[in-house]
Amino acid sequence: DGARAGGAARVDGGQIVYPGAYPGADLRYQLNGLGVQKAIDLAGPDSPVSYSFRLSVVDDGPLPTVQRRPDGSYAVNVAEVWP
């Protein structure tokens, strides 16, 4: 929640960055061998200290699982379901 329109998206190889997507932060999606990683890149020490995200199920799909990692980040995973 709270994402807003910022500058034009920048594509660089396997990643896309949305500058100013959040107050004091950019939003970055990066492709890797396991899927897509979403990261919030803080602009500096005056950036907000917390963010909220709403997770929802798409088309009656599986519920996402959320795990806190040792570095303080969170991993959100959704099992793939093939028709």
Which residue has better confidence, 71 or 7? 71
Rounded distance, CA 78 to CA 56, Å?
A: 11
Residue-by-residue DSSP string for the chain = ------S--EEETTEEEEEEEETTEEEEEEEETTEEEEEEEE-STTS-S--------STT-PPPEEEE-TTS-EEEE------
Read off the pLDDT of residues 1-56 as tens digits, 9 standing for 90 and up.
Answer: 445 566 788 998 899 999 998 888 999 999 888 778 888 889 999 888 887 877 77
**Residue 70 pLDDT grade (very low, low, confident, very high; cuts 50, 70, 90):** very high
Residue 42 Cα distances to 23, 34, 38, 78, angstroms:
9, 24, 13, 26
CA distance between the termini of the chain: 31
